[in-house]
Amino acid sequence: MHKNTWKNMALVAGSLTLTTGFADAASTLVNLGNNAPTGNIIASEESRNSFTRAFDIEANANHARGMVFTTGDNATGGQFAIDSITVSKDTTQTFVGGEVTLFVYQGSVADWTAGNGDTTETAADIYDGTTVTPLFEETFALNGSYGANSYLQFSLDSSLIVDENSEFGFFLIYSKGDANDDDYLQLDERSSGGGQIRLTDTANEVNGTRGLTFYVQGTAVPEPSSAALLGLGGLALMLRRRK
């Protein structure tokens, strides 16, 4: 499993600066919840009537599942800070030492589907041939029992700053831990609407009729000028109180 992680993201003069860090191991457990996320929803799809599987790469060619999404308009600025991505679990599964790696990129469906597939689970192979911009990668641990209709929340190690009114995608790659674990991670999906990201040995795909149940959460980022004005206002208030 590839462990590189794009971290340490900073907003500098209104632009996104990325520096590359390295995660030694999957130290962060996937958060497990019984209720769907509420509040600070940037993008979501709540309906579900079927299931889909992200397989371990050694077990099956269909070794990733994800979803395209679009950010809306930010009334207070031009960007959002993504803090977590949640997917809905189908059927109960127990894992011992399993891992799930979350990837996020910016780009259109056409940008993603220009890719050549993946056989090594390295970022260079995953994105080969695409014209998307990789933004984030982090590996999470799967340990314990994860029940049907529960929610798997991936809380990002660092908030991801993204543009408003733009196209993105996220996807999950599952890596089996114990020999007795299932060869796949089974998730809820809907059999309409499309938008589901798939990655095989030979293609980067977006399914036209199926989509994941998912929630992207975060907050609006004020424009730098707005943030500066708020800071000056706070300073003026402090000075007034000292008089």
pLDDT value, residue 228: 52
The sign of the dihedral angle between the CA atoms of 116, 119, 121, 122 is negative
- Asked if residue 212 belongs to a domain, the reply is yes
pTM over 0.85: no
- Asked if residue 19 belongs to a domain, the reply is no
Mark the ranges of the chain whose per-residue pLDDT is less than 50.
Answer: 1-24, 226-227, 229, 235, 239
- Asked if residue 16 belongs to a domain, the reply is no
Which of 92, 106, 226, 228 has the alpha carbon at shortest distance from 163? Answer: 106
- Asked if residue 18 belongs to a domain, the reply is no
User: What residue type is assigned to position 193 of the chain?
Assistant: G
pLDDT value, residue 27: 63
- Per the structure, how many domains does the chain have? 1
pLDDT in tens, 129-159: 999 999 999 999 999 999 999 999 999 999 9
Domain extent, residue 234, equals 4-11+25-242
